[in-house]
Amino acid sequence: MMKRKISVLLTSVAIAALAQAQDDNAAQAQEAAASAPADSVALTVPQVKPGECQALVVVPAKFEPRTEQVVIKDAAKSYEIVPAEYEWTEEQVVIKPASKKLEIVPAVFETVEEQIEVEPAMTTQEVVPPQYAEVKEEVVAKPAYMTARSEGPARTFSSAGEALRMVEVPAQMETITKQTVQEEARLNPTQVEAKFETVKKQKLVSEETTREIEVPAEYKTVKVKKLVKEAEQREKEIPAEYAEVTKFEKVADAQVRWESVLCNDTVNSKTIEAVQSALKKEGYKVSVDGSLGPGTMKALEAYQRKHNLGVGGVTRETLQAMGIEQ
C-alpha cells in the first residue's frame, strides 16, 4: 500500500513537470510520460543519499539536422536561336565609268632674234655756205653836184644884181669794208647707213593639234555586310535546380527522468545570480536580482531545451553546463 502511494505521488510530479513544457518536444515527452504505467515511472527512482534532492525532469526528444538536396525546378528542354553571322568587308564600287576626252595640244613657239631695219640707208645734203673775203672799197658817200656860187655884183647887166657862177662840188668818198664772195655756196652730199634693231619674236615650231586622253573610272570604297553563317536552332537541356533543405530527424524520444537538483535550503541568492548572469550572457532577458521568479524560470527552461538538458528546475546538470561551481 505504501509503495502504491509513492507511485501515485511520483506520477503526479511527472505530470506537473510535463504541463510546464513550452514546445512540441515537451508535448511529445508529456504524451510519452502520460501513456507510461505509473509503476514504470516509480521504478526509476534512484537511491538518494542523505542531504541530496531529486526531481523529475522532462528530457525533450532529440533531433539532429540532416541536409538534403531537394528539386525546386524540374529539368526541361528549351531551344536556342543562334543568330546568323555576318562580317563587314570593303568593296570598290564604280561611281563614274572610264571615258575618253580630246585635249588641245597648243602650238609650240620658239624665241628667235632678228635684225629689223628701223631706218633705211639715205644720202643727206649738207649745205656748205659761201665763203666771203673782206675788201676795202671807196664808195661815193655824196655824189658830186653843181651849185651856184656868188661872184659879187654883176657888171654886165644894166640892172643891179648879184653875179652867180655855176661850180661843180666834187663827190664825197668814204672807205668801207665789205664782204665779197670768194666761193659760192654749194651742197655736200653725205651717205647715211641704214639703222637696224635686234628684236625677239616667237617663231612657230608646230601647229596646234588635238589628242585623245583616257579618263580612268572613279571608284568609292563602301562597307558591305555579308552573310558568313546562316542562323540555326539548337536544342538546349535546362538542368534541374536543387536547393539544400535542412530537415531534423529524431534520434531519441522525449523522456521523463529523475535528476539531481539543489535542495530548497541550499539554493541561495548567490547561486541564482550566477544562473541569471549565465542566462544573460546567452542572450536571455533576465534581471540579475538573485530571485528565482517566473521570468528566470522561463529563460532557464528555454536554455535547458536548447542544450538538450532535462527541463525542470535548477538541476546540477544545468549548473555544470553553465560552469557554475556547486
Question: Per residue in 258-306, pLDDT tens?
Answer: 777 777 767 788 888 999 999 999 899 999 998 888 999 899 999 988 8
The confidence score (pLDDT) of residue 45 equals: 62
Between CA 321 and CA 326 the distance in angstroms is: 12
- Name residues whose C-beta falls within 8 Å of residue 49's C-beta, 6 or more positions apart in sequence: none
Q: How far is CA 136 from CA 139, 170, 174, 200, 259, in A?
A: 10, 21, 10, 67, 204
pLDDT tens by residue, 137-168: 888 888 888 887 776 665 554 445 566 778 88
Between CA 231 and CA 233 the distance in angstroms is: 7
- In the block, which residue shows the cell 539554493? 267
Between CA 311 and CA 28 the distance in angstroms is: 13
**SS3 of 254, please?**
coil
pLDDT tens by residue, 39-52: 344 445 666 677 67
User: Domain boundaries in the chain?
Assistant: 2-67+246-322, 122-192
